[in-house]
Structure 1
Amino acid sequence: MQSDDESQTLSRRILRLSLHLSPIPRSLSDPEQNLQMLTCAARAKLNVNTASLSDYMRGKHRDIQERIFDYFNSRPQLQTPVEISKDDHRELCMRQLVGLVREAGIRPFRYVIEDPSKYFAILEAVGGIDMSLGIKMGVQYSLWGGSVINLGTKKHKDKYFDGIDNLDYPGCFAMTELHHGSNVQGLQTAATFDPITDEFIIDTPNDGAIKWWIGNAAVHGKFATVFARLLLPTYDSKGVSDMGVHAFIVPIRDMKTHKTLPGIEIHDCGHKIGLNGVDNGALRFRSVRIPRDNLLNRFGDVSRDGKYTSSLPSVNKRFAATLGELVGGRVGLAYSSVSVLKLSATIAIRYSLLRQQFGPPNQPEVSILDYQSQQHKLMPMLASTYAFHFATVYLVEKYSEMKKSHDDELVADVHALSAGLKAYVTSYTAKALSTCREACGGHGYAAVNRFGSLRNDHDIFQTFEGDNTVLLQQVAADLLKQYKQKFKGGTFAVTWNYLRESMNTYLSQPNPVTARWEGEDHLRNPKFQLDAFRYRTSRLLQSVAVRLRKHSKSLGGFGAWNRCLNHILTLAESHIESVILAKFIESVQSCPDPSSKAALKLVCDLYALDRIWKDIGTYRNVDYVAPNKAKAIHKLSEYLSFQVRNIARELVDAFDLPDHVTRAPIAMQSSAYSEYTQYVGF
């Protein structure tokens, strides 16, 4: 017979083990009651209609994505093997693109302008086949093709559209230089107008101006959109007038022989950490002459007699308009990064459901996803994946609207939103890929299970189309501009509307009563969650503005900005998180299927509370959250992770990634281990 003390001790031990597998946000004072509630909680699994949820997630372009998946699945010769050399990968990548366009009949270029959401859907599917293929397609159609269409005029579209569309005119986007990447206004390549011959002369004035990391340049490109300073002769002591950075079409290889053209020097940037299917090269120009018509002249033109005209009054206005038209690259990267996150989360979660390890004595081993530690790694990540999906879908919608309306306010809004989402999402995904690899143990280290290639291929997403740190500063600068305008009676851009009331509602003293509320209904209320996110952003915005004003007196504008830089970056990230949560909440409320809506609500709550908990120090420091409430948030976020674990399979299945797309043996929906053992030869 056990004593009462021994019985209580045993109950407590059972409770601790149970809580490790399935946490609950309740007082631990009554072990018997808690075990009872635990059993009830385990039974309270949501019934998720995966097909309905998938329909809601995949949207209207599901058909064209499935066409792409089916095409590559039916052609084993076009599938990228696990082990492949750089040169072979480049040639395979080009064959994949040619096959997609000419054999499968998928013409992405037509949608760059007409239907951007369809273009990004194609990009997502192609990136799932091989990320190098996605980037090569983006270089051809979004960068090279997009620059011709967006920065040129009718004459350029008439001359180049069909050749770009059908791949007769493979091209490059030559912006980045050895010494200048993010600072585009600092580019040094020169395009000097020669009025005698009616030509521009393209020159690389020094080694620092060599165009570097230019996709498609090393092997396949025949043209390049070259960004250079437009210099006009002035016939006075100055010699030339610098009209700022413009874009020019420069042929780099002969159309028939494919030989490098005179005056152009091309070198291979070599083997990279990832994306070796993309042939990045370096370009130097030595007095390369191009016709005056090769100036992409939408925002600035040069007449036959050398006169410069523009509808925009200054160098800065023209530069902003030029870069504004190229924002689609950032939109595509943010959207594609989410697809990488979906893929890696699917592999890690399916394996975590399959893999069993340890368990109670004399009982079957349990799935590793039943462990609280594994849930802590993967469930908030799954919630973030859903949050980012809806945020980037919203970004694509705003971008598509911008391309149709050309509304100035919308252009500015999309520019800042794309910068912020691209920076935030790609940084998160880069970290998440390592977490997924670690969550799969030794089997995550096998190249065939893809985490290595996904991590290496995705890593550069944090750098190209704008370094993430630079992009976050753009977001913060826009917020500060909006903040300043508030005091001048100006209007707020669409995405920042909530800041109208921020100086009033959000910056008033926290209510000491609501600061202590800890009920589940309150913590899972979207208003509480969104208010918490926006309160943090508003306080950061106000404090950054005050600090900048203070330091600028002694350090000047640049010095003050640098002194406050970490604070500035935190502000930008906080704002982007507020936008992401707002769009997630809207998407939950708009979901027509009740079972899908319930699942999305659960996932949204986990995303919100996990983010609040991860920055709980900020809320505690200003008494926005009392100690008891902080503890309740932590417990509830852990419990929600457990509940999301219960529907994790359905949630990743809703991404609708078939086995021939995930391609990782440990992620197969059935017979995963047999697939894996066959791969190594058993």
Structure 2
Amino acid sequence: MEGHNLDQIQTGDESQTIARRVQRLTLHLIAPIAVADYSNLQLLTCGGRAKKLINNVNTGALSDYMRGKYRDIQEKVYDYFNTRPDLQTPIEISTDQHRQLCMRQLTGLVKEAGIRPFRYVLEDPAKYFAILEAVGSVDFSLGIKMGVQYSLWGGSVINLGTKKHRDKYFDGIDNLEYLGCFAMTELHHGSNVQGLQTVATFDPITDEFVIDTPNDGAIKWWIGNAAVHGKFATVFAKLMLPTHDVKGLSDMGVHAFIVPIRDLRTHQVLPGIEVHDCGHKIGLNGVDNGALRFRSVRIPRDNLLNRFGDVSRDGKYSSNLPTINKRFAATLGELVGGRVGLASSSVGVLKIAVTIAIRYSLLRQQFGPPKQPEISILDYQSQQHKLMPMLASAYAFHFATLSLVDKYSVMKSSHDDEIVGDVHTLSAGLKAYVTSYTAKSLSVCREACGGHGYAAVNRFGTLRNDHDIFQTFEGDNTVLLQQVAADLLKKYKEKFQGGTLAVTWNYLRDSMSKYLSQPNPVTVRWEGEDHLRDPQFQLDAFRYRTSRLLQTVAVRLNKHYKTLGGFGAWNRCLNHLLTLAESHIESVILAKFIEAVQSCPEENSRAALKLICDLYALDRIWKDIGTYRNVDFVAPNKAKAIHKLVEYLSFQVKNIAKELVDAFDLPDNVTRAPIAMQSEAYAQYTQFVGFQTQEATAANT
């Protein structure tokens, strides 16, 4: 009887709920347009009646701390394009039109706005990357085209060449007279650069190199700037030298060569070179990607970029590096700037997407308690669960990539071998981790904005399509993570041989003691908020996981090596290795975030950063809670406490979400999505599709 009554009560409650929902949906459908007045609709302050851990955020101070000394140059980029509506990329544009617009944008930036990015590639790399992030925010095709011109083509000339190359090409690259390409990737080879098949054979009779594409698989593919605008290409090819033995030719490994591809005066493609258009792409259609085939193209011997290896007039090879592998490593080591730039630019994409999604979620109202006003969709826990950890990640990645840029700048000035190795691994890991995370987040942001996220004018489609290739170029993410794992195993081995460890790897010193010792049966059960928000606990958890993954994969590799050999063992443990690399990069990101929190000079901003840092750390722990439970690092009661605290911190971050995205300091002309406008968002959105404001309608009638 009691059970029957309970069923009746439940059925009655459900009926009331359904009726209320139908009534509310009916109102949405039949409400006359004239009633709606969107002109003064502002972003809502959600959770106003809830108790806040932080009452207000000094947005200006936080923004100053984040953007630092390069804020002015970014503002100069934003202001220039804001005053040139003719250079702003429309929503619908053909591939040919987009390519020409992108070229005009780059020319305007350099020749009208007076911003010369190439000068900072060597002098101040951090400033160059700040410009690149701002330019990418205007149009990511423009960011990539600028990167091809200055970081890849220009960077290869000044980093792989010597003084004679800088003297001859620097000014032309700087002022866009010498537009160029970076011709590394081939149809059959991308990530495996040592397997490239294009050849450059030295002819001692004419003192020239002869560039050849020996088969279709060696056609240079996806070469930015090649299809329309490029006049030169840095071509990566196997250097072949004549010998006097039966072999005939000696392979000296992959080197880089400057190859003119178009006439400087007529812009006609030069003899022996075929250029074909790679066509319309998923995204980045403002970049003219092309394919190149070389048929006995002759270039002067001086066009060899000879910093790491040279050929004399009589065909003798010389290098201060003794082996092909060492020369190859040094060559690629000088090209890591592309990965640094992609990691930094990917964070810029994430900031824009998060800003649009959060501002719309504050603006949009839907449902709510009976007989009360509707609430913003960011007041729903499910929306907080989607967006607040993402906002925390955007901050975490910002500080991690800033640290990488600083380390890269030190590397460029010091040429310290230890820092070179550190930057190589960190740039690979951060580029892979950040771009993969951003790619997934773009879809989540679109879904979080419902149907309005599907409108092209609100940018998620363009952002998603343009960013998607970030996971592939400058190194496929899966390959880059394997490089991180390989370096971790190398450091792990060196630890037992008494070698020194770079600062980034210091925690590995304790991998066999502190982090891999039996977890303390007391601390595994601690569930107090002070303990869980202690940065030392958070770092210990991240590093424990990384160290354990490192130890276990080393054991597994050793076991499988005996039966499968090196390649087979690696392939058998590949997923384990990728997880190890991601875990290590997460540890680095958290460590840099904690440092940034502790270094923040303004108390209010520091408190806000501490809140989102805790959310970043605990959300990551919760997402991999199975690992911590399986090894008894976290007891069941502690796991539950972590889950509850993540939800509570998401709620608290939601209360200051508007201020946190405002601190990114992205003006409306950069975010551009109508649903992300800081005022009159609905008015701008309706005007975009053709509706007049009510005032204008009334005046016309």
TM-score for the superposition, normalised by structure 2? 0.92
For 1:544, the equivalent position in structure 2 comes to 553
2:643 is aligned to: 634
- 1:55 matches 2:31: no
Alignment counterpart, residue 91 of structure 2, candidates 82, 99, 102: 82
Q: Which residue of 1 aligns with 2:364?
A: 355
Structure 2 CA distance, aligned partners of 1:409 and 1:361? Answer: 64
1:454 is matched with 463
Q: How far, CA to CA, are the matches of 1:280 and 1:614 in structure 2?
A: 39
- The separation in 2 between residues aligned to 1:137 and 1:493, in whole angstroms, is 33
Q: CA deviation at 1:43?
A: 4.5
Tell whether 2:632 aligns with 1:623: yes
Question: Distance between the aligned counterparts of 2:478 and 2:249, measured in 1?
Answer: 35
Asked whether the 8 Å contact 1:246–1:296 carries over to 2, the reply is yes
Which of 372, 375, 380 is the equivalent residue of 1:366?
375
Give the superposition deviation at 1:42.
2.6
- Give CA-to-partner distance per residue, 1:596-647, whole Å, 9 cap, x none: 0000000000000000000000000000000000000000000000000000
**Aligned with residue 544 of structure 2, among 535, 551, 557:** 535
The aligned runs of 1:455-494 (5 Å cut-off) are 455-494=464-503
- How many residue pairs get aligned? The number is 651
Alpha-carbon separation, structure 2, partners of 1:262 and 1:70: 43
> In 2, are the aligned partners of 1:548 and 1:564 still within 8 Å (CA)?
yes
Structure 1 letter corresponding to 2:525: R
The answer as to 2:436 corresponding to 1:436 is no
Pick aligned residue for 1:110 from 105, 119, 135: 119
Query: Partner letter of residue 486 of structure 2?
Result: A
| Pairs within 5 Å for 1:202-281 | 202-281=211-290
Aligned with 1:623: secondary structure? coil
Q: Are 2:503 and 1:519 equivalent residues in the alignment?
A: no
Three-state SS of the structure 1 residue aligned to 2:57 is coil
- Within a 5 Å distance, the mapping from 1:132-147 to structure 2 comes to 132-147=141-156
Q: Residue deviations 1:578-598, cap 9 Å, x none?
A: 000000000000000000000
Contact 1:200 1:290 in 2 (8 A): yes
Deviations 1:467-524 (A, max 9, x none): 0000000000000000000010001122111111111100000111100000000000
What's the offset of the Cα at 1:45? Answer: 3.9
Deviation at 1:235, TM superposition (A): 2.0
Q: Indicate conservation of the 8 Å contact 1:193/1:199, yes or no.
A: yes
The Cα offsets for residues 390-445 of structure 1, whole Å up to 9 and x where unpaired, read as: 00000000000000000000000000000000000000000000000000000000
Structure 2 letter corresponding to 1:165:
D
Distance 1:235 1:488 in 2: 44
Per-residue deviation, residues 40-71 of structure 1 (Å, max 9, x unmatched): 85354431100000000111100011111010
Per-residue CA deviations over 1:429-462 (Å, capped at 9, x if unaligned) read: 0000000000000000000000000000000000
Secondary structure in 2 matching 1:218: coil
The answer to whether 1:323 aligns with 2:361 is: no
Q: Deviations over 1:284-314 (max 9, x none)?
A: 0000000000000000000000000000000
Whether the aligned pair in 1 keeps the contact of 2:107 and 2:176 (CA below 8 Å) is yes
Aligned equivalents of 1:87, 1:250: Cα separation in 2: 25
**Structure 2 residue 82 is matched with structure 1 residue 73:** yes
Q: Would the aligned equivalents of 2:389 and 2:615 in 1 still touch at CA under 8 Å? A: yes
* 2:271 aligned partner, one-letter code: P
Give 2:214's aligned amino acid: P
Larger deviation, residues 497-506 vs 339-348: 497-506
Q: Does 1:178 align with 2:187?
A: yes
**Letter of the structure 2 residue corresponding to residue 259 of structure 1:** Q
> Which of 343, 347, 350 matches 1:341?
350
CA offsets 1:330-371 (integer angstroms, 9 cap, x no match): 000000000000000000000000000000011000000000
1:292-441 map, 5 Å:
292-441=301-450
CA spacing shift, 1:155–1:39, aligned 2, 3 Å: closer
Equivalent positions of 1:120-199 (< 5 A) are: 120-199=129-208
**Secondary structure at 1:348 match in 2:** helix
Query: Helix, strand or coil for the counterpart of 2:114?
Result: coil
Mapped contact 2:87–2:101 kept (Cα < 8 A): yes
Q: Give the whole-Å Cα distance in 2 for the aligned partners of 1:43 and 1:321.
A: 53
Question: Would the aligned equivalents of 1:46 and 1:599 in 2 still touch at CA under 8 Å?
Answer: no
Q: Name the CA distance, whole Å, in 2 between partners of 1:425 and 1:120.
A: 16
Distance 2:556 2:498 in 1: 23
Structure 2 distance, partners of 1:140, 1:170, is: 6
TM-score (norm 1): 0.94
Contact 2:52 2:652 in 1 (8 A): no
Supply the distance in 2 between the matched residues of 1:227 and 1:39 (Cα, whole angstroms).
60
What is the rounded CA distance, in whole Å, between the counterparts of 2:679 and 2:185 in structure 1?
A: 46
Distance 2:291 2:101 in 1: 21
Contact 1:177 1:211 in 2 (8 A): yes
**SS of the residue 2:90 aligns to:** coil
Does the 8 Å CA contact 2:197/2:218 hold for their aligned counterparts? yes
Partners in 1 of 2:548 and 2:195 — Cα distance? Answer: 34
Cα pair 2:403 2:592 within 8 Å, conserved = yes
Q: Following TM superposition, by how much is the alpha carbon of 1:236 offset from its aligned partner in structure 2, in angstroms? A: 1.5
**Mapped pair 1:668 → 2:668:** no
C-alpha distance in structure 1 between counterparts of 2:493 and 2:334, whole Å: 26
Deviations 1:93-135 (A, max 9, x none): 0000000000100000000000000000000000000000000
Report the equivalent of 1:29.
Answer: none
- Percent sequence identity is 84
- Partner SS state of residue 149, structure 1: helix
Name the counterpart of 1:119: 128
The whole-number CA distance in structure 2 between the counterparts of 1:390 and 1:351 is 25
Look up the equivalent residue of 2:457 and give its one-letter code. Answer: V
Q: Any conservation in 1 of the 2:525–2:634 contact (CA below 8 Å)?
A: yes
Code of the residue aligned with 2:436 in structure 1: it is S
Counterparts of 1:506 and 1:41 in 2: how far apart (Å)?
A: 39
Per-residue CA deviation, residues 6-49 of structure 1 (Å, 9 max, x unaligned), is: 9xx99xx9xxx9xxxxxxxxxxxxxxxxxxxx998535443110
Distance 1:310 1:44 in 2: 61
Give CA deviations for 1:504-558 in whole Å, capped at 9, x if unaligned.
1000001111000000000000000000000000000000000000000000000
Which secondary structure does the structure 1 equivalent of 2:237 belong to?
strand
Contact 1:410 1:494 survives alignment (8 Å): no
Q: Which whole-Å CA distance do the structure 2 matches of 1:346 and 1:199 have between them? A: 54
Q: C-alpha distance in 2, partners of 1:60/1:172? A: 31
Evaluate the alpha carbon distance shift between residue 556 and residue 461 of structure 1 in structure 2; reply closer, same or farther with a 3 A threshold.
same
Which stretches in structure 1 are left out of the alignment for 5+ residues? 18-37
> Which amino acid counterpart does residue 508 of structure 2 have in structure 1?
L
Q: For the Cα contact (< 8 Å) 1:356–1:365, is it kept in 2?
A: yes
Q: In the alignment, residue 497 of structure 2 is paired with which amino acid?
A: K
CA distance in 2, matches of 1:44, 1:306: 72
| Two-structure CA RMSD over aligned residues (Å) | 1.4
